[in-house]
Structure 1
Amino acid sequence: MAEPAQKKQLVLITGATGGIGKATALAFAKTGLYNVALHYHSASTETRSQLADEIKAASPTDTAIETTFFQADLGSFDEVRRLHEQVTKQSGDVDILFNNAGSTLAHSGIKSLSDVPIDVFEQSWRVNTGSGILLTQLCLPHMERTGWGRVIFCSSVAGLTGGVVGPHYASSKSAIHGFVHWLAGNVAKKGIAVNAIAPALIEETAMLPGGNAELAARIPVGRLGKPDEIADTVMWMVRNGYVTNKVIAVDGGMYPH
């Protein structure tokens, strides 16, 4: 008698229909080892259906990947709690959390601090930082019980250098780094790795404050990054349990760290 198939680990990706989220979902699907729970805010039915089809096509032919979509506004902590409740009820406990969703809140290319109202700072933190922290709080108990887990944040090179979007965005991303450093040290002996990726100017995303040619000229390698290059970094962090407490810049050489 054949042994029963081992249960696949569950990956929760926030902002999964954007460039980086989509590339990462496909990277997990290609392995055939994971089920994917995909968060979106306002993506259309057509966009979600297309992504589901791409995941199915990318998966090994002999492997069934469970793909589920969950809507939530990450600017609301109540919605974050609802998202976690729905994911665990429908798909199971989260083993790998990729806090990828982020927003500039339609404020970009800021030239003066006075151009950003203080409530935009507060909302930026809620969307870019607080929602990921809350989701981590909610997912962590399962990881601690099983003695294995991965928490990865999508930060930004703006959190290291200030960036080109604005002070609200840079400060919300840099706040992630302190949280990663604290939590990684707290759970390292429990088999849980906590890291952040700090991309710079990735094509096919909504974070680009200008034209591609203009922005590419700012990067030492002379081009924008690709979503697949961020997804590759996520997969490396998932596979390698000896990598924790790191903020890895994937930025074409912008930040020498």
Structure 2
Amino acid sequence: MSRFVGKVAIITGSSNGIGRATAVLLASEGAKVTITGRDSARLQESKDAILKAGVSEYDINSVTADITSSEGQDNLISSTLQKFGKIDILINNAGANIPDANGKTRTEGGIDTFLKMFQLNLQSVVEMTQKIRPHLAKTRGEIVNVSSIAAGPAAQPQGPYYSSAKAALDQYSRSAAIDLISEGIRINVVQPGFVETGFSTVARGLNAEESSKFYNTMGSLPHCIPVGFCAQPEHIASVIAFLADRKASEYIVGQTITADGGSTLVLGFHANFGQKK
């Protein structure tokens, strides 16, 4: 396939997981990509994965940067323009459920943790959208924001700050989509459920073997993931690519696609009474 030939994409949070899988997919289908993350070693692993997919090194722009800093955001955009001359696609994938520095959990988490959560999961997206807007207007480009099923409507008492930030991201995305569509810029959202990236196990302090066991267990429980298995990053990357492909999804504007194997349909009452006997 070559649906992204001639396109230039920035994928934030692409040093691992969904971001890495998305960068590999877009690049393997013709896009020139800017990959970025704070960990240079893991970012190199992403670059190696893209090269392994048969992509020329010339088509990869690797930038070690903090997406929450103005300098990092500016560097992403300016280096992409310098190397590739334009920007067609922005994938705002960077995000995290940041552990509280003092070990506080749930609603007892510190306000500093709350602020950091919103800075990464929402503010960085707002700032990148503002800064990249004139460049995407020139190319009639696409923005795909990566949210989470934690955004609701089900309550998330174990992570209220993260889930609130993602819920705010969803509403911002809807509002921005209507504001920018007149300039030809499309914005849509992907809400992943459980994905085997380590995201859901880092805060629990699990090692690689324990993490794999956790995801396998979740996938085996029909009241958690009805489809019967936990998603791999590539499952979510394919949904992101669909929304980034103007030809395939042109009439989809400001919408949220939930990719969770059915998890959000079996919460609460349905967890006990909605399964086949």
TM-score (ref. length: structure 1): 0.85
Describe the shift of the 1:52–1:74 C-alpha distance in structure 2 as closer, same or farther (beyond 3 A): closer
Query: 1:128 aligned to 114, 121, 125, which one?
Result: 121
Secondary structure of 2:188's counterpart equals: strand
Residues 1:180 and 2:176 aligned together: no
Structure (1 or 2) with the greater helix fraction: 2
| Partner of residue 258, structure 2 | 249
Contact 2:15 2:45 in 1 (8 A): no
Pairs within 5 Å for 1:1-257: 8-32=6-30, 34-44=31-41, 47-59=42-54, 66-107=59-100, 112-114=106-108, 116-146=109-139, 148-160=140-152, 161-163=154-156, 166-208=159-201, 211-216=214-219, 217=221, 218-239=224-245, 240-256=249-265
Contact 1:184 1:245 in 2 (8 A): yes
- Aligned partners of 1:110 and 1:219: how far apart in 2? 29
Contact 1:20 1:227 in 2 (8 A): yes
TM-aligned CA deviation for residue 24 of structure 1: 0.5
Contact 1:29 1:59 in 2 (8 A): no
TM-aligned CA deviation for residue 93 of structure 1: 2.9
Q: Residue type matched to 1:224 in 2?
A: C
Contact 1:56 1:65 in 2 (8 A): no
Contact 1:184 1:244 in 2 (8 A): yes
Unaligned runs of 5+ in 1: 1-6
CA offsets, 1:203-252, max 9 Å, x none? 02423466224433322223211111111101111222111111111011
Secondary structure of 2:264's counterpart equals: coil
Contact 1:185 1:245 in 2 (8 A): yes
TM-score (ref. length: structure 2): 0.79
TM-aligned CA deviation for residue 163 of structure 1: 4.2
